Amino acid sequence: MSGIDAPERGRTGAETLDGARMAVLSHRFEAIVRRMSNTLARSGRSGVLNTARDFSCCVLTASGEVLMTGDSPPIHVMGGPDLQAKSMLEFYPRVRAGDAFLHNSPYHGNTHAADHSVLVPVVDDNGVHRYTVLAKAHQADCGNSVPTTYMAGARDVYEEGALIFPVVRVQDAYADCEDVLRMCEMRIRVPDQWRGDYLAVLGSARIGERALLQLADEVGWDALDQFAHDWLDYGEARMETAIRALPSGTATTTTCHDPFPRVPDGVPVQATVTVRPDDGMIDVDLRDNPDCVPSGLNLSEAASRTAALIGVFNSIDHTVPHNQGSFRRVRVHLRENCVVGITRHPFSCSAATTNLANRVGNIVQRALAEIGDGMGLAEVGSGMSPSEAVVSGVDRRSGVPVPFVNQIFTGPNGGAAGPDGDGWLTMSDLGSGGTLLLDSVEIDELKQPIVIHRRHLAHDTEGAGRHRGAPGLEVEYGPVGGELEAIYANDGSINPMAGARGGHSGAPSAQFKRDRDGTLHEVDICGPVRVEEGETLVARTSGGGGYGPPDARPPEEVARDVREQWISEQRAWEVYRVALDARQHPDTAATALLRGDGSRTDTG
């Protein structure tokens, strides 16, 4: 079983903070994480950081419990920082002021090798380790054997080729350990870009360290320690209350990742979710799944646990704090050598934050929807489409050839519908949770030698339902002044993302290359694809699943979707069973005939 056993609630003889003081301190800690995030966003050199903002920041207790997270991709912060902090303490039982550790090992608590984390212990004047701050940033290049950070076709970590840092000290007494940095600069294709991103991550962590020391000078370490204890207990109490309001039940849901290099039949996955309101607990069992595969699709322990937690937290009261206290109320059962469990070296976890992590979180939230109406979600669009590829080549626009490697975020997947609303258009995937920013066309064209010819909603690709999933997007781009290589790891082209409680699946993704004469050729779901000048890549991303039967969607909402061109009149008629008049408003009588006995209001 993965997770941390719940400690005893309360401390003998200890006073708890009053609500007002706890609220003030929680906002002070939030402000620290926000300062860390602003530092990363404003000083990161690669577009992955300063444009898409694929990074996260958090504060942990000295023992490694997640205390405060910011507006970060949930796959980064919900189930891994605690494992990373514990690995730090295993390798370095006595940390010192001025230490900083580089950590990207998926075998020691990190998500995948592309997420470079810097951990900084916050140590007081007496040498006591009080807290740990962590800044994590996805890299444009992490030294893989090919120019991408998502090497999903890798047989093992050796073929993947990434530099692995299992908690390596990169600063001692606030001074850089230059030998480690030289290793990175020799291995990574864009060393100046990496060095700038490294400094941004390190600076973010140091900002967090300084802010915590200043806060302790203001209120005292005892007050901060009391807050940490009470805040975690508050998170647990809120989570327990949320679970006690849910219906009791167990559901097993299944899915299958598309066929992939070295996994020609795809990867079937199932999750069994049990809600125990009387105990205030939820169990997620992922043990009955295949062993690790010779591919980069395997999930690290951090990614497996976090994906399950995301599915749960997507399905409950959104005001429950995301901290180790609330995590205590969800038990995620994993096994070693499992493709969605605890992967051990040397199996590759290169794509651990995306493909199968999306599948796991999706079936967890869909299982909760099956247990009770009014909770859970359908499935979020999945896959690393060519619209989110790592592109590389040589930029010749300045007259001096300059190598470039960067991930672009030009077209996200569609979000899932839920019991209370339609899917979020720019969700991207379940692991990012809508926190990644959609690239600006103009900025992407300035930073890389590419031109984006079109980007628009893909008509009729939403998962139909009482609440509809968000549609996919269509994106077409190509190189300028040479050629580029696009490496991606798509999913959802064969097995689309399912709806919940009678909702329909979203439309599958698709990927093509357009020749110079305009001819479209379907390309493999897993890159690389070389695109020459005059050619383009065309990507359609996954639509999100719908929630509830489509013929329960209010006719006026269907008509508005037609008028706003989300769906066609034909789809309104055939799928939603809504007839429209000449002004594209509902024809009440004809709709009643289509739906048999008038518009339904149930949710399936």
- Smallest CA-to-CA distance from 101 within 83, 86, 119, 87 is with 119
Name the more confident of 598 and 317.
Answer: 317
Provide the phi-psi class of 304: left if phi over 0, else alpha when psi is between -120 and 50, else beta: alpha
Tell me what pLDDT residue 527 has. 84
Q: Which of 288, 328, 289, 290 is nearest to 309 (CA)?
A: 328
Q: Whole-angstrom distance between the N-terminal and C-terminal Cα of the chain? A: 34
Percent of the chain with pLDDT over 90: 92
Instruction: Using pLDDT thresholds of 50, 70 and 90, give the confidence band for residue 456.
Output: very high
Which pLDDT score is estimated for 17?
80
417 three-class SS: coil
User: How many whole angstroms separate alpha carbon 434 and alpha carbon 318?
Assistant: 14
pLDDT confidence of 597, banded at 50, 70, 90? low
For 237-322, list the strands marked E by DSSP.
249-257, 267-276, 281-285
pLDDT of residue 602: 43
Q: Is the confidence at residue 566, as pLDDT, over 60?
A: yes
Q: Residue 17 is encoded by which pair of tokens? A: 């903070």
What pLDDT is stored for residue 4 in this prediction? 38
Tell whether the model's pLDDT for residue 297 goes beyond 90. Answer: yes
Domain assignments of the chain as residue spans, ordered by start: 19-236, 387-548, 551-594
pLDDT over threshold 70, residue 15: no
Higher pLDDT, residue 205 or 2: 205
Q: Among 154, 167, 112, which Cα is nearest to 303's?
A: 112
List pLDDT tens digits, range 262-279. Answer: 999 999 999 999 999 999
How far is 533 from 480, CA to CA, in rounded Å? 6
- Least confident stretch, 6-10, 55-59, 297-301: 6-10
Contacts of 564 (CB under 8 A, 6+ apart): none
CB atoms within 10 A of CB 259: 15
- Which of 114, 189, 132, 195 has its CA nearest to residue 489? 114
pTM of the model: 0.94
- State how far the Cα of 509 lies from the Cα of 507, in Å rounded to an integer: 7
Q: What is the mean pLDDT of the chain?
A: 94
Residue 601: per-residue pLDDT = 45
- Integer Cα distance of 418 and 441 in angstroms: 30
pLDDT above 70 as % of the chain: 96
Whether residue 3 has pLDDT greater than 80: no
Confidence of residue 600 (pLDDT cuts 50, 70, 90): low
Cα separation, 382 vs 359, whole angstroms: 8
Asked whether the predicted pLDDT for residue 11 surpasses 80, the reply is no
Q: How confident is the model at residue 16 (pLDDT cuts 50, 70, 90)?
A: confident
What mean pLDDT comes out for the span 432-441? 93
Give dist(CA 233, CA 324) in Å, integer. 9
CA 203/CA 207 separation, integer angstroms: 6
486 forms beta bridges with 391, 529
Q: What is the helix, strand, coil percentage profile of the chain, to 5?
A: 30, 25, 50
Q: Does residue 49 carry a pLDDT above 70?
A: yes
Model confidence pLDDT, tens digit, residues 460-488: 999 999 999 999 999 999 999 999 999 99
pLDDT of residue 202: 98
User: What is the SS3 string spanning 33-73?
Assistant: HHHHHHHHHHHCCCHHHHCCCCEEEEEEECCCCEEEECCCC
Give the mean model confidence (pLDDT) for residues 203-215. 98
